[in-house]
Amino acid sequence: MNFFVEARTQILVSLGVYIILKILFAFHFVSEYIEQITIYSFIVIIASLGLNVIYGYTGQFSLGHAAFYGIGAYASAYFSRIFGIEHVYSFLPVLLLSGAIAGLTGYLIGIPILRLRDDFLAIATLGFGTLVRVFFDNSDRFAEVLGGSRGFVGIPRITNLETVCFVTLFLIIITRNMISSRYGLFWRCIKEDETASMSIGIDTAKMKLMAFAYGCFLAGIGGALYAHLYTFLHPSNFDVLKSIDFLIIVILGGMGSIMGTIYAGIIWVGFIEGLRIILPAAMLDLRWVFIPLLLIALMMWRPYGLITKGR
Amino acid sequence: MNAIEIEGLRKGFGGVKAVDGISFHVGEGETLGIIGPNGAGKTTVFNLITRFYVPDSGRIMFFEKDISHLPSYKLPRLGIGRTFQNLRLFQNLTVMENITSAVLCEQGYNVFSGIFRTEGYLLAEAKARQEAQRLIDFFQLTGREKDPARNLPYGEQRKLELARALSLRPRLLLIDEPGAGMNPREIQDLVTTIREIRERFSLTIIIIEHQMGLVMNISERIVVMDFGEKIMEGTPGEVKKDKRVIEAYLGEEFA
């Protein structure tokens, strides 16, 4: 099938990456901590890719991406608990279902708010993000197991190198194919000029919804993988600051670039965690000073991203 | 048969009556010019026909079908194409993509085919590129297929916008001030091009224009607007002599 034939390069590269990482992990060349953040960087890439579809390709500015990431995380943790899932194979359907729930939520919330443009949309997504955070904080009132502000504990650790490599590869290929299909073309048209898009017959409302729901689906998958990597969820992991992390990665990598998102995801996780290693414990909080400074510098010198060429 | 019939079309913005009860019709294959001073409501008429604005009242019939209630994005499929006064190209998309996007709106495939790159997908994409190439060649943009639209000189951007509208295979083409910002030489070219496409695609055309030379040259009939109303309608010859038209354009003392 054309699907696999045209994805040869990606499959080979991922296989190479997998083998190298597997050797590093298996012979304990790296600490368990490094192992964990390596896997985490894959998760960040998946979720950021979702935001890149929404913002980078379709031009719909969202400040609520972490909410969908959180919805995927909580949904998957909940399903794992009630179905008693402990193994990777039974986890894959849960993964898909959690992604679908995040995507569906995105679709439903998208119907009213995607009519808004630019800054109004930003405020609406910000509002939704806050709403979800508040919901997580009080979630124990709906179901004790969700843990509310104490956090969701005791999630089985299922996410491993194989799972993230396979899922990331698969989703990157699907996303790439979507982007190069007519749907991706319509998304880019909408980003360029919504009025002109309508004048050539693009159902802009539908296409925006599709991009938004798909982007949220990717966030949900990322969240579900995250939940089963760290085995503990806390509402504060899914607040607006987290949304901004994804936004920074998309901007850092360059809007509308899949490769850019991949590089930026790795750089981002490496940077944050690297500072944790370099900085003495007493100054650890300074990380949150460096990051905004980095963002300001980026906007001044490379407004179109570090990786893509300037316009 | 009339390609388009407009009856008592009205649109106000707050206290301003942008279009105040206008009626006209265009026969199939005819070219109608709309002229009038700035702010007369010409572009608003276009935006009402293509449903970017919802009319306050009035009716728009397209080949005897009432289109006044249809959403904007459905009109290209019925056969209405348009260009814009201030060029609305997809600036960062290539010349080729600017046209294929329009072609693929009608000749599509579903999401599944797109993701798994089925035969149907490959076929539709190839066909769209072929059709786009034909238009690119016709408008002498050959060789620039892979350039982003923003890199084209102004005159060629105008051509690309026309090509994009024509790729929808419209029966009615609305052209909004094609001569804006062009020199006399380019305008001469434009007149030739519009004549050519009218023959070749057997089109009905409505054209808004300020350059009298251009509009008088092309149109069979002209509607003159002022303050949202139609002040007269007639052949180019009649319009040139009309006292009300001279008044609207040059002021009373010249009439």
Contacts of B126 in chain A (CB under 8 A): none
| A111, two tokens | 């119907």
DSSP state of A152: B
| Record: contact B73-A189, CB cut-off 8 A | no
**pLDDT on residue A1:** 59
pLDDT at A309 over 60: no
Closest to A198 (Cβ–Cβ): which among B72, B81, B122? B72
pLDDT tens, position by position, A60-87: 999 999 999 999 999 999 999 999 888 8
pLDDT at B24 over 80: yes
Higher pLDDT pick, A252 / A111: A111
Pairing of strands B221-226, B31-35: parallel
| A161, two tokens | 């190198």
Confidence of residue A308 (pLDDT cuts 50, 70, 90): low
pLDDT at B18 over 80: yes
| Record: contact B116-A3, CB cut-off 8 A | yes
Give the C-alpha separation, B248 to A171, whole Å.
62
CB of A8 less than 8 A from some CB of B: no
- Hey, is A43 helix, strand or coil? helix
Give the C-alpha separation, B141 to A99, whole Å.
45
Q: Tell me the residues of B at the A interface, defined by beta carbons under 8 Å apart.
A: 50, 52, 72-77, 81-82, 84, 88-93, 97, 100-102, 104-106, 108-109, 111, 113-118, 121-122, 124-125, 164-165, 168
Closest to B82 (Cβ–Cβ): which among A174, A199, A203? A199
Confidence of residue A310 (pLDDT cuts 50, 70, 90): very low
Select the residue from B94, B101, B173 to test the A interface by mutation, using most A Cβ atoms within 10 A.
B101
Nearest-Cα residue of chain A relative to residue B76: A201
Least confident residue range of A197-201, B53-57, B240-244: B240-244
pLDDT tens, position by position, B178-202: 888 888 888 888 888 899 999 888 8
Q: What is the mean pLDDT of residues B77-97?
A: 94
The full set of domains in chain B, from first to last, is 1-79+169-255 (3.40.50.300), 89-168 (no CATH)
pLDDT at B34 over 80: yes
**pLDDT on residue B168:** 93
| Record: contact B76-A201, CB cut-off 8 A | yes
Nearest-Cα residue of chain B relative to residue A200: B102
Confidence of residue A233 (pLDDT cuts 50, 70, 90): very high
- DSSP lists the bridge partners of residue B62 as B4, B65
**pLDDT on residue B175:** 94
pLDDT tens, position by position, A138-158: 998 888 888 889 999 999 999
pLDDT tens, position by position, B44-66: 999 999 999 999 999 999 999 99
**pLDDT on residue A117:** 81
| Record: contact A199-B77, CB cut-off 8 A | no
CB of A278 less than 8 A from some CB of B: no
Select the residue from A115, A185, A191 to test the B interface by mutation, using most B Cβ atoms within 10 A.
A185
Give the C-alpha separation, B177 to B168, whole Å.
20
Percent of chain B with pLDDT over 70: 98
Nearest-Cα residue of chain A relative to residue B91: A192
| Record: contact B76-A1, CB cut-off 8 A | no
| Record: contact B76-A200, CB cut-off 8 A | yes
pLDDT tens, position by position, A253-285: 888 889 999 999 998 898 888 888 887 877 878
CB of A201 less than 8 A from some CB of B: yes
Domain boundaries, chain A: 10-301
Q: What is the dihedral of CA B91, B93, B99, B103, to 10 degrees?
A: -120
pLDDT at B1 over 90: no
CB of A231 less than 8 A from some CB of B: no
Contact present, A47 and A69 (Cβ < 8 Å): yes
pLDDT at A291 over 80: no
What's the complex ipTM? 0.92
pLDDT at A44 over 90: yes
Q: What is the mean pLDDT of residues B127-138?
A: 95
Round the average pLDDT of chain A to a whole number and report it.
90
pTM over 0.80: yes
CB of A193 less than 8 A from some CB of B: yes
Helices (H), chain A: 2-5, 8-26, 32-51, 65-83, 88-113, 118-137, 161-180, 182-192, 194-199, 204-230, 240-253, 258-278, 287-301
| Record: contact A3-B88, CB cut-off 8 A | no
Closest to B73 (Cβ–Cβ): which among A181, A198, A311? A198
CB pairs under 8 A between A and B: 98
**pLDDT on residue A307:** 67
Contacts for A268 with CB less than 8 Å, ≥ 6 apart:
A41, A44, A245, A248, A249, A252
Q: What is the mean pLDDT of residues B170-174?
A: 95
pLDDT at A311 over 70: no
Least confident residue range of A29-38, A196-205, B43-52, B55-64: A29-38
Closest to B73 (Cβ–Cβ): which among A178, A183, A201? A201
DSSP state letters, chain B: -EEEEEEEEEEEETTEEEEEEEEEEEETT-EEEEE-STTSSHHHHHHHHTTSS--SEEEEEETTEE-TTS-GGGHHHHTEEE--TT----TTSBHHHHHHHHHHHHS---HHHHHHT-HHHHHHHHHHHHHHHHHHHHTT-TT-TTSBGGGS-HHHHHHHHHHHHHTT--SEEEEE-TTTT--HHHHHHHHHHHHHHHHHTT-EEEEE-S-HHHHHHH-SEEEEEETTEEEEEE-HHHHHH-HHHHHHHH-GGG-
